[in-house]
Amino acid sequence: MPFDEGFLQELHARADIESVISPYVTLKRAGKLLKGLCPFHNEKTPSFTVYPETQSYYCFGCGSGGDAITFIKNIENLDYGEAVRFLADRVGLSVPQDNFSTELYDKRRKMYEANRAAARFFHKMLYAPEGEAGLRYFHDRGLTDQTIRKFGLGFAPSGWHALHQHLRKQGFSDRELYEANLLRMRQKDGHTYYYDAFSERVMFPIIDLRGNVLAFSGRALTSDNPRKYVNTGDTLIYKKGENLFALNLAKKSAASGMILCEGNMDVVTLHQAGFDNAVAGLGTALTEQQVALLSRYTGEVFLCYDADEAGRRAAEKAMRLFSKTTVRVKVIHMRGGKDPDEIIKTYGPERFRTLLGEAANNLEYHLLQAREKFDLTTSDGKTKYLSEACAVLADAKSAVEVDIYAGRLSEEFGVEKESIQKDVNRIRKQRVRQSEQNRLRDSRELEKNAEKTLNQVNPERARRLRAAKAEELLCASLMHNPEFFTQIKEEVSPDDFVTSFNRRVFAALCDRIAAHGGFTIATLTGDFTDAEIGVIAKIQTLIPQLANTLGECRDCIKVLHEEKNKRVGVRASDLSDADYLKLFQG
C-alpha cells in the first residue's frame, strides 16, 4: 500500500463523502441516505446511493462503489496516488512522500506543459506573418485584439510540422506530444512519422478552472471545408464530454446564470459584447457530466442554440438533462438571426439582452412548440392544441404554475379554467401510476444488476449463495461494529469462508481492525481492484439492515461452519468432539 494507514484514516475522517460528491452529483436526501443520478453511466432513475454513516457510495445500476478516494479517482480520471493528493489538498492534509510513485503524475504534468507551450506558439503565430490569414479571420468576425488575448486565441500555420519542430526544440519527445494529441502518427514502409494535429486553422485553447491548458479546438478559415472543426481527442488530462469552453472565465459571473451556446465563436462574441457568463460544449452533444458541471456553479441556465431544427433538438435534450437537476432552464428564442454572433453583429448587444430577458422557461417553451404544430384558426386545431397544452402543464412543478397558465389558456380560448385543470390532474394521476410501475420495475432491475456484479467479482457466490450471504453479512457487521472482532476472533477465521473473494475481504478486514481498531475502504484500496472495491461498498450497503448484535454474527458463523462441512464433505466420524457438538448448537 503506497500510503500509511493512519494517514488514510485521517483523510477518510476529514473528507466527508457528501461534500466530496455533491459538487459532481445532485444528491437528494432519502431518509439517512442520499441519492442521485450516477455520474459513471447513463440512467434516468437514480441508483447512485451515498451512505454518510459509512462514508461510502454504491451504484446499483453499474456496480461502481467505494469511498471518497475511489470517487475522486474515477470522476477526475486520476490514478490512486493522484486522487489521494487531490483530496488531501482539498482538506488541507499533508501527503506522505514515502513509496509514492510519480510516474503517471509526471506524465500528466508533462502533458500540461506541452499544451501550454503549444498555446503560446499558436498565439505567437497569429501575430506573425504566417498567421496573417488567421488574424484577418478574427478581425473580420469583429473580434478585438483585447478579446483575442483574453481567450488566448491563436493560429496553426500550414505545413504540418511547425508545432512539431517548435516543441521538439523545447525538449518534448514525439511520444509525449502524440499522447497529448498535439501530433498525429502514421506508419509507412516500416517507419513511424509524426505530424501536427492542426494545420491552417484558427485555434481556441480549452482551459480548466486552475488555468491549465487541456486541449484545443481548431476552426477552418473557410466555410466550405468539410471539417469545420478539428478537436483534441480524449487524453489523460482531457475528456471533451466533461468540460466546457470558457468556464474558467464565465464562472465569476455564474451567479447571474449561465448562457449555454453551441459554438466557440458564439461564446467569444458574447463575452466581447459584455455577456461574460457564456460557455459552450466541445464538439459533442451536451452530456450529463457537463450538466453536472454547470449545476455546480449556477442555478439558472439560458439555452442559446441555433434557430434551426438541430438547435431545437439540442434544446429539447438539454432540458431533459437539466430536469434531473435543480437548475432552472430558459430557452432564448433567436428572433432576427440564426445565432448570437449574427444577432449582435446585425442589431447590437441590446437586442440580445432583450432576447435574454424574454427567454422562455420550460413550460413556456413547450407551449410555444405545441402551438406551432396546429392551426389555431380551426376548432379542431384549438382542441388538439389545448389537449397537448394540458399534457405540458402536467409537468409543472407547482399548482401555482398550473393556475397561472391554465388562466391564460382559458382567457385566450374561452374555455373554463376548471376544465383545463381537471384535464391536467387526470394526466398527472395517469403519470403517477405509470411512474410507480416504472419505479418498481427499475428497482427490481437494479437489484438484479447488483447481484450480477457481485457474482461477476465473486463467481463462487451464485453456487454457494447461503454461505456467501452469511459471509457478506458477517463482514458488514464487523465493518460497522469492529469491537465485535475481539469477541468472535477465536470462533471464526478466513479458512471458514466458502468463497475465496469474501475470504480475502474478511482477512483484510481482520488485519485492519487488529492493527487499527477500525476499518475504512481507503485502507483496502491498494489490495483490491476498482471492481472489487465496488463489491465491498455493496457489502457495506447491508449495514442499515443489521441487528448489530453478537448473536447475529454467531448465526452467520454457524452457517459458515455448516456450509464449510458441506463443501469439503466432512463426515461426522472425522470431527472432533467439540466440532461435532457445534453442528447442533443453535
- Compute the average pLDDT of residues 275-280: 96
- What pLDDT band is residue 497 in, cutting at 50, 70 and 90? very high
- What pLDDT band is residue 102 in, cutting at 50, 70 and 90? low
Determine how β-strand 278-280 pairs with β-strand 300-304.
unpaired
Residue 283 has pLDDT above 80, yes or no: no
Please tell me which residue, 524 or 246, carries the higher pLDDT value. 246
Instruction: Tell me the pLDDT tens digit for each residue of 417-453.
Output: 999 999 999 999 998 899 888 888 877 777 787 788 8
Q: What are phi and psi of 179, to 5 degrees?
A: -65, -25
- Compute the average pLDDT of residues 337-351: 92
- What pLDDT band is residue 545 in, cutting at 50, 70 and 90? confident
Task: Name which of 93-107, 209-223, 370-384 the model is least confident about.
Answer: 93-107
Residue 583 has pLDDT above 50, yes or no: no
- Compute the average pLDDT of residues 387-404: 90
State the pLDDT at residue 386: 95
Task: Name which of 105-109, 252-256, 456-460 the model is least confident about.
Answer: 105-109
Q: What structural domains does the chain harbor?
A: 5-101 (3.90.580.10), 103-236 (3.90.980.10), 465-582 (1.10.860)
Report which listed range, 34-48, 51-65, 437-451, is most confident. Answer: 51-65
Query: Any long-range contacts for 456-460 (C-beta under 8 Å, 24+ apart)?
Result: 456/531, 457/501, 457/531, 457/532, 457/534, 457/535, 458/499, 458/500, 458/501, 458/502, 458/535, 460/498, 460/499, 460/500, 460/501
DSSP assignments along 128-145, one per residue: SGGGHHHHHHHHHTT--H
Q: Count Cβ atoms below 10 Å from residue 242 Cβ, excluding itself.
A: 20
Determine how β-strand 360-361 pairs with β-strand 56-59.
unpaired
DSSP assignments along 41-89, one per residue: S--SS--EEEETTTTEEEETTT--EE-HHHHHHHHTT--HHHHHHHHHH
Residue 575 has pLDDT above 70, yes or no: no
Residues 6+ apart with CB under 8 A from 229: 217, 218, 219, 220, 283
Q: What are phi and psi of 279, to 5 degrees?
A: -140, 170
Q: CA–CA separation, 517 vs 303, rounded Å?
A: 53
Residue whose C-alpha is closest to residue 235's, from 254, 214, 218 = 214
State the pLDDT at residue 23: 81
Residue 165 has pLDDT above 70, yes or no: yes
Determine how β-strand 48-51 pairs with β-strand 56-59.
antiparallel
Residue 98 has pLDDT above 60, yes or no: no
CB 331 within 8 A of CB 359: yes
Query: Any long-range contacts for 463-466 (C-beta under 8 Å, 24+ apart)?
Result: 464/498, 464/499, 464/563, 464/567, 466/559, 466/563
Sheet holding 28-30, edge to edge: 28-30, 33-36, 48-51, 56-59, 65-66
Full 3-state SS string of 403-420 = HHHHHHHHHHHCCCHHHH
Residue 569 has pLDDT above 50, yes or no: no
Which amino acid is present at 378?
T
Handedness of CA 572, 576, 581, 585 (dihedral sign): negative
State the pLDDT at residue 393: 93
Task: Name which of 446-460, 464-478, 548-562, 570-584 the model is least confident about.
Answer: 570-584
Residue 179: helix, strand or coil by DSSP? helix
Question: What are the DSSP E strand ranges found in 232-378?
Answer: 258-261, 278-280, 300-304, 328-331, 360-361
Residue 99 has pLDDT above 90, yes or no: no
- Compute the average pLDDT of residues 501-517: 92
State the pLDDT at residue 503: 96
- Compute the average pLDDT of residues 362-379: 89
Number of alpha carbons in the 13 Å side-chain half-sphere of residue 573: 0
Q: CA–CA separation, 394 vs 348, rounded Å?
A: 38
Q: CA–CA separation, 308 vs 290, rounded Å?
A: 23
b/e map 367-380, b = 16+ CB within 10 Å: bebbeeebeeeeee
State the pLDDT at residue 101: 53
Residue 567 has pLDDT above 80, yes or no: no
Task: Name which of 1-5, 312-316, 499-503 the model is least confident about.
Answer: 1-5
- What pLDDT band is residue 264 in, cutting at 50, 70 and 90? very high
State the pLDDT at residue 579: 53
For 571, the grid coordinates are 463426515
Q: CA–CA separation, 157 vs 134, rounded Å?
A: 9
Query: Any long-range contacts for 450-454 (C-beta under 8 Å, 24+ apart)?
Result: 450/60, 450/63, 450/538, 453/62, 453/63, 453/531, 453/534, 453/535, 453/538, 454/535, 454/538
pTM: predicted TM-score of the whole model, two decimal places: 0.64
Q: Count Cβ atoms below 10 Å from residue 130 Cβ, excluding itself.
A: 17
State the pLDDT at residue 240: 86
For 188, the grid coordinates are 509507412
For 586, the grid coordinates are 443453535
- Compute the average pLDDT of residues 35-50: 86
